[in-house]
């Protein structure tokens, strides 16, 4: 399962243009953030409701199913059944009231690991969703905080066999937010698949220099295609 797309939906034109290119290279799901949980409040916060509208349009045009992050109970109620996978970000893994709301949904949830969450805390977070009714949870390893400032986070590949061994859940790896640098994404993608991951979530942008969010880790469409070919 290859999920790819820009960090953020930046305009109608941008998301539709990128979606078409991703469809051509065989991506399975289109990602794009409309509500962006930025560490700095002065950074681009996403297009919000307008962004979701463009993402849904990109789906209608290309046929690609969509995944996007929702951050509040209200957003889950409003958009939960309009998207194909609800992404819960690293910062919200501990937001139990939000997780309880997801248990009432039938849409699958991609639950990212909190950046300093233990495996057990992460699995417990997933149980807030699964044990009250929504069994469609996919976990996503996206790197944990470490002492190393040269990379954004540290990719914990041991999470893959651990989750496989201790749960029945699928696990996807997001090497983009772990590495934070484009040149690391391919080796980490291949390593993730070798470790047994069920898929990858990778950030791409076809005009990287214009990206409003996470440009240092964005791959070009060609670079993503090379990874997909190598995995095959």
129 binds Mn ion (CB under 5 A): no
Instruction: Rule CB under 6 A: choose which of 5, 6, 33, 175 binds ligand PEP.
Output: 33
The number of angstroms, rounded, from the C-alpha of 146 to the middle of its chain's C-alpha atoms is: 20
Choose among Mn ion, ligand PEP, none what residue 205 binds, the Cβ cut-off being 5 to 8 Å by kind.
Answer: none
Q: What are phi and psi of 170, to 5 degrees?
A: -80, 150
Choose among Mn ion, ligand PEP, none what residue 141 binds, the Cβ cut-off being 5 to 8 Å by kind.
Answer: none
Q: Which stretch binds ligand PEP (CB under 6 A): 41-49, 71-79, 86-94, 144-152?
A: 86-94
Residue 147 sits at the vertex; the CA angle it makes with 71 and 197, to the nearest 5 degrees, is 55
Q: Which stretch binds ligand PEP (CB under 6 A): 10-18, 72-80, 85-93, 122-130?
A: 85-93
Binding mask 158-187 for ligand PEP (x = CB under 6 A): -------------------x----------
Q: Which stretch binds ligand PEP (CB under 6 A): 87-95, 98-106, 158-166, 217-225?
A: 87-95
Binding mask 185-224 for Mn ion (x = CB under 5 A): -----------------------------x----------
The whole-angstrom separation of Cα 226 and Cα 123 is 33
Instruction: Rule CB under 6 A: choose which of 14, 34, 54, 112 binds ligand PEP.
Output: 112
Choose among Mn ion, ligand PEP, none what residue 90 binds, the Cβ cut-off being 5 to 8 Å by kind.
Answer: ligand PEP
The residues that touch ligand PEP, with contacts defined as CB under 6 A, are 7, 33, 37, 69, 89-91, 112, 142, 177
């Amino acid at each position: 399962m290859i999920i790819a797309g820009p960090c953020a939906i930046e305009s109608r034109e941008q998301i539709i243009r990128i979606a078409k290119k991703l469809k051509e290279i065989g991506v399975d799901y289109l990602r794009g953030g409309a509500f962006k949980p930025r560490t700095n409040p002065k950074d681009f916060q996403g297009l919000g409701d307008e962004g979701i509208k463009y993402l849904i349009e990109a789906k209608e045009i290309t046929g690609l199913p969509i995944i996007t992050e929702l951050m509040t109970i209200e957003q889950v109620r409003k958009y939960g059944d309009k998207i194909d996978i609800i992404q819960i970000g690293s910062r919200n893994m501990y937001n139990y009231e939000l997780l309880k709301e997801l248990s009432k949904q039938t849409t699958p949830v991609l639950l990212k690991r909190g950046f300093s969450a233990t495996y057990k805390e992460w699995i417990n977070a997933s149980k807030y969703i699964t044990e009250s009714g929504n069994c469609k949870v996919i976990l996503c390893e996206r790197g944990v905080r470490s002492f190393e400032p040269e990379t954004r986070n540290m990719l914990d590949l041991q999470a893959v066999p651990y989750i496989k061994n201790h749960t029945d859940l699928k696990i996807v790896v997001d090497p983009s937010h772990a590495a934070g640098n484009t040149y690391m994404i391919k080796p980490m993608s291949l390593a993730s698949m070798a470790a047994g991951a069920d898929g990858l979530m990778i950030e791409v942008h076809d005009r990287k220099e214009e990206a409003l969010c996470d440009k240092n880790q964005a791959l070009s469409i060609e670079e993503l295609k090379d990874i997909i070919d190598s995995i095959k």
